[in-house]
Amino acid sequence: MDIWKYYAITHKRHTILNPMNKVKLDGLLSLLDIKEGFRVLDIGCGKGEFLIRLSELFNISGIGVDISPFFIKECKENKSERIPDSDVKFLEMNGAKYKPDKNQLFDLTVCLGASFTYNGFIETIKALKNMTEPEGMIVIGEPYWLKDPDDEYLKMSGIKKEEYNSHYKNIDIAERKGLTCIYTLASNNDDWDHYETLQWLSAYNHIKSNPDDPDNPELLKKIEKAKKEYLLYGRDTFGWAIYVFKIQ
C-alpha cells in the first residue's frame, strides 16, 4: 500500500496532522510575536494548517513543502478557499531537497512531526538553522519518551529507543546547537486520543465506503496494529511537544 495513500486515508478528518489541538495551537501562535510580512518556511507542512493560520492572523509570506501529493492537493485547496490572495506557496517535494532561492533566509522555520525528513532531530535543527535569519525563530514538533519504553513496545513498533529523547534532552540538545528554547507546548492524553483514534475512525469508514479497494486488507492490518501499540504502550510511553527556539 502506498504510504502516502495510507496517511491520506487515516488522516482524512484531521486538520492538524499531529497530537495538538486547535485551541492550543492558536494560543501558541499568539505568543510568537509574528509580524506582517514575516517569511515562514514549513517543512513537512501536511495540509498546510500552520501556514494558512499564520497568514489569516498575520498576513505572512510563506512556503510549505511536503512530499505527499494528497496533502499538497489539500494545501492548495485550503489556500484557495481561505487565503486566495496570500503570498503562500505549497511545493510537492522531499523537504530535504528544498533549497531557498538565492540563499534566502526566513524569519521563522518550522518542522512539526517531520524530523524524519532530515533523519532525526539533530539534523533537523542543523537544516532549519541554516535557513533561518540570525535572530529568527525555529519551531519543531518532536516526540519524546515519557518513560523508558518497554522492550515489547519497541519490538512491536519497530522504533529504536535511541531515535527519541526525553523532553529535557530535546531542549538540551537544541541549546547545545546554538538555540535558546523560549517556549514549549506538550500534548496531553486528550490530544493524543483524538489524534490516534480519529485515524481508526477514518480507516474503518474508508473500508466500509470503498469495499472494492484492493488495499483494504493491508489498511485494516496496519490500523489494528497501530491501535494495539497505542493502547498497550504508546499512550503511556510516547509524548509530543512543540518547541520554540530563538537562534542565539
Q: Domain boundaries in the chain?
A: 3-247
Q: Looking at residue 103, what is its pLDDT?
A: 80
**DSSP string across 159-215:** --GGG---HHHHHHHHHHTTEEEEEEEE--HHHHHHHHHHHHHHHHHHHHH-TT-TT
For β-strands 132-145 and 106-112, DSSP reports them as parallel
pLDDT at 76 over 90: yes
Q: What are the Cα distances from residue 201, in Å, to 9, 66, 194, 223, 225? A: 10, 24, 10, 10, 14
Which residue, 80, 72, 86, is CA-closest to 44? 72
What confidence tens digit (pLDDT) does each residue in 186-244 have?
A: 999 999 999 999 999 999 999 999 999 999 999 999 999 999 999 999 999 999 999 99
Beta strands in the chain (DSSP E): 39-43, 61-66, 87-92, 106-112, 132-145, 179-186, 238-247
Mean pLDDT for 72-76 is 98
Mean pLDDT for 30-44 is 95
pLDDT at 248 over 90: no
Q: Looking at residue 13, what is its pLDDT?
A: 97
Mean pLDDT for 100-123 is 95
Residues 6+ apart with CB under 8 A from 68: 4, 7, 8, 46, 92
Which residue, 128, 158, 123, is CA-closest to 63? 128
Q: Looking at residue 108, what is its pLDDT?
A: 98
pLDDT at 140 over 90: yes
Q: Grade residue 74 by pLDDT with cuts at 50, 70 and 90.
A: very high
What confidence tens digit (pLDDT) does each residue in 3-30 have?
A: 999 999 999 999 999 999 999 999 999 9
Q: Which three cell numbers stand for residue 3?
A: 504510504
Q: What SS3 class is residue 101? A: helix
pLDDT at 246 over 90: yes
User: Using alpha carbons only, how large is the chain's radius of gyration in Å?
Assistant: 18
For β-strands 39-43 and 106-112, DSSP reports them as parallel
Superfamily, domain 3-247: Vaccinia Virus protein VP39 (3.40.50.150)
Q: Grade residue 102 by pLDDT with cuts at 50, 70 and 90.
A: confident
Q: Looking at residue 110, what is its pLDDT?
A: 98
Q: Looking at residue 85, what is its pLDDT?
A: 95
